[in-house]
Structure 1
Amino acid sequence: MSSPPLPAHHTKHIPLLDYPFLGRRFALRQLDDGKANGTALWLGAQCMSLYLADISTKLQHSGRSESKRRPRAVELGSGIGLTALALSSLGWDVLATDVSNVIAAVLRENISTNAAVMTGDPGLIEVRELDWTVPPSDWTWADHESITSPSQTCLTESSELLRPPFDLIVTSDTLYTESLCTPLLRSLHALSAQSVQSTSKGSRSPPVYICVERRDPALINRALSEAKDTWGFVVERVPQKKLTKSMEKGALVWTKDDWDGVEIWRMTLG
């Protein structure tokens, strides 16, 4: 039986992680060279992936449209790809996004390497650039490489590309600097608005799950207030008992100090 994963801050020096996840193993290359926050594993992705695994079945059947397609998720700030790979292994089609340097450094390789050997009935994973500082009015869904920096030579309308509506929107470890809070929330709002679907119970926007480490409480509080007051989200914290139970189900039994300050928040458009 393999050992459970260690908290991310104990493994940042390891260039290739052999990462167990619910009976699977992901080979995750990471860089801890200080050039970008998204090229190494963080606690948020570890906690988020197991929480989503715990509620995945409920999410897949909760108010989704009547189409027969797979449930579809988009992740902002995918980093080294753990959460995207976890969702794919659970049967979701996933659009994994980040900025171009993170994609080139670790994300594309990790997705390609692991998707090629994933067994069972995994979902599709696409990797595309999504720079939050680009206004949603300038986005395109017709480019295979980038939503926010499209190449004019690559624009092709393809029904096979993952695009809204999404049934789930996720992001982890992405509220860490003041300058990116508004761009991130604007992007989450745009994706939510573009993903409103009609169901038998009326229109529904997808849930947004955001995992944070409360390293800067004032920053986190300002961002959550902006989500409510400026962007119209209903914001609710996932009870810590539920998150702890999800981690225990995934064999992550850490001490309180190992992940103190990690929180998951659920947001939906009001």
Structure 2
Amino acid sequence: MPLPAHHTKHLNSLAYPIGLDLTVNLLQVDDGKTNGTGLWLGAQCLSLFLANSHKRPSPSIGRPKAVELGSGVGLTALTLAALGWDVLATDVSNVITTVLSQNIARNTAVLPAGSGCIEIRELDWTVTPEKWSWDNDRVIASASCENPQGASDLQLSSLQVESSLQRPGPPFDLIVTSDTIYSPELARPLLRTLYALYSASRTPHTRCPPIYLCIERRDPTLIDRTLAEAKDVWGFTVVRIPHRKVVKAMDKGGVKWDQEEWEGIEIWKLTSAADVTST
């Protein structure tokens, strides 16, 4: 049984079980430069919830595609890939070069047959969606280069590009993020990014993808304000996953932590965005 993340921050490498009789090796770095280079409790709980409360995709309907914001050490991306999803794992440049790329590369070979593929791209939420590019094989959006190759004339509606392993853009079947509401300055850029990905995944024949947002309630005021903005500004329907369902998924995954070890963890589902114009 994995330990809660706050017990393992001092470790540079973690042998981490993700189910399916599979253990991955996760590099983490505690260098004070960014929060994203270490494992966090929200990623642990979200991965367990997704792995143990959702049906494995059927090969007969094709491989579904997920996008993750703030992939960090890559635990959720690896879990989804092991379950049969193709995953676009995104983060800022420092996290990608420090831990994410290495963790994906070192663990891809141990994923079981039938696993999905994982692509990694830089996606800085502070860059507005009209400056994004899906043609760059490394960067969707970067604050240091606001117009990646091919992005200068990109509009939000043109984000709906053909899906393939070479062009891992929308439409997506699932959007996930965890431990990403921690800074007042980044809350609105995060919601704007979620809305852009959600809107770009609309197709005439499919429903918009659910967004699963896992948070640890360290700053209740910030959390409540962000969830309210998701509803009132961006038009999402915001529903908390019942705690009993999260407990059930964790129990099914063999994780039975004492309640105080993961107190404050919440998983929220965002759906049914209305058209809005606020930025």
2:27 maps to 1:29: yes
2:195 maps to 1:171: no
* CA distance, structure 2, for counterparts of residue 25 and residue 122 of structure 1: 14
2:251 maps to 1:245: no
2:114 maps to 1:121: yes
- Residue 79 of structure 1 deviates from its aligned partner by 0.2
Within 5 Å, which residues of 2 pair with 1:1-270?
4-22=1-19, 23-57=21-55, 60=57, 68-149=61-142, 151-152=148-149, 159=164, 160-199=166-205, 204-270=207-273
- Residue 116 of structure 1 deviates from its aligned partner by 2.2
- Residue 118 of structure 1 deviates from its aligned partner by 1.6
* CA distance, structure 2, for counterparts of residue 57 and residue 24 of structure 1: 18
Give the SS at the match of 1:197: coil
Q: Answer whether contact 1:79 1:107 (CA < 8 A) is retained.
A: yes
Count of aligned residue pairs for this structure pair: 257
AA aligned to 2:140 is I
- Residue 158 of structure 1 deviates from its aligned partner by 8.9
TM-score computed with the length of structure 2 as normaliser:
0.88
* CA distance, structure 1, for counterparts of residue 163 and residue 220 of structure 2: 43
Deviation string 1:172-201 (CA, Å, 9 cap, x unpaired) is 0000010000000000000000001333xx
* CA distance, structure 2, for counterparts of residue 222 and residue 13 of structure 1: 32
Please tell me the root mean square deviation across aligned C-alpha atoms, in Å.
Answer: 2.0
AA aligned to 1:222 is R
* CA distance, structure 2, for counterparts of residue 222 and residue 154 of structure 1: 32
- Residue 153 of structure 1 deviates from its aligned partner by 9.3
TM-score computed with the length of structure 1 as normaliser:
0.91
* CA distance, structure 1, for counterparts of residue 114 and residue 10 of structure 2: 33
* CA distance, structure 1, for counterparts of residue 242 and residue 107 of structure 2: 32
- Residue 68 of structure 1 deviates from its aligned partner by 4.4
AA aligned to 1:163 is G
Q: Answer whether contact 1:192 1:269 (CA < 8 A) is retained.
A: no
1:100–1:252 distance in 2 versus 1, CA, 3 Å: same
* CA distance, structure 2, for counterparts of residue 251 and residue 230 of structure 1: 39
AA aligned to 1:240 is H
Unaligned regions of 5+ residues in structure 2, if any?
153-161, 274-279
Give the SS at the match of 1:186: helix
* CA distance, structure 2, for counterparts of residue 163 and residue 154 of structure 1: 14
Unaligned regions of 5+ residues in structure 1, if any?
62-66
Q: Answer whether contact 1:142 1:158 (CA < 8 A) is retained.
A: no
AA aligned to 1:57 is K
- Residue 57 of structure 1 deviates from its aligned partner by 1.4
Q: Answer whether contact 1:144 1:154 (CA < 8 A) is retained.
A: no
1:21–1:246 distance in 2 versus 1, CA, 3 Å: same
